[in-house]
Structure 1
Amino acid sequence: MAFGLKKSDIEKWKKRANEGEVAFITHFWFDERFPQYRTVTKAACANKDTLIQWGQKYNLKPEWIHDRKDFPHFDLLGDRQRDILKKENQYEQLEKLLTKGKDVMK
């Protein structure tokens, strides 16, 4: 279950992904399979080959891609989420983790 997203943020994310860049969106999230996590970052790109190449930098396996019709993406969680956002200079996404989800990274 996803929550805490603005329609304008989703539209920006989709636009960037459609333009062939790896686009990031972080939102609050609850999944019974992963009760220790409260946020997820979706790293998406309409060009799946670009996404695979990008993921190789972070040891993300192609089989981990959620192959949605228009927006194939990796779900980033926990320490990997935080580390990749830092390396990608995604400060706006990191701020969501730090200011609104302080207990997310326990």
Structure 2
Amino acid sequence: MAFGIKRKELQRWKEAVARGEIAFLTHYWLDSRFPDMKTVTKVGCSDMEKLSRWCLDNGLNPRYIHARSEYPHFDLLGPMQREILKRENQLEQLERFDML
């Protein structure tokens, strides 16, 4: 279950993904499969080759890209989420979701 994002934020993320940009969207998240995780960052891009390269460049397996919708994305969780958000200079999201 996702919460903690505004409709405009989601719309901006969708627009950036549709343009083929690498876009980040962090939100609060509850999933019984991952009881210790409180947030997830969706790294999206409609250009699957670009998103796959991004995954490989960040040590992530592109096999786990969610490509079943018009907004393909990779879900970042845990320590990799924080590390990659820092590397990508997504400071607002790190601060907002208390990940610093």
Distance 2:39 2:65 in 1: 18
* TM-score between the two structures when normalised by the length of structure 2: 0.94
| Whole-angstrom CA distance in 1 between matches of 2:9 and 2:68 | 19
DSSP 3-state at the match of 1:81:
helix
Q: Give, in whole Å, the separation in 2 of the partners of 1:57 and 1:83.
A: 13
Unmatched 5+ stretches in structure 2: none
Identity %, equivalent residues? 49
Q: Which residue of 2 aligns with 1:84?
A: 84
User: Where do 1:28-43 residues align within 5 Å?
Assistant: 28-43=28-43
Please give the TM-score of this superposition, normalised by the length of structure 1.
0.89
Query: Superposition RMSD on alpha carbons, in Å?
Result: 1.3
Contact 1:27 / 1:41 at 8 angstroms: preserved in 2? yes
Distance 2:74 2:95 in 1: 20
Paired residues in the alignment total: 100
Gaps of 5+ in 1: none
Who is 2:51 aligned against?
Answer: 51
Contact preservation (8 Å) 1:26, 1:96: no
Runs of 4+ in structure 1 over 4 Å off: none
Show CA shifts across 1:7-57 (max 9, x none): 000011011111111100000000000000000000000111110001111
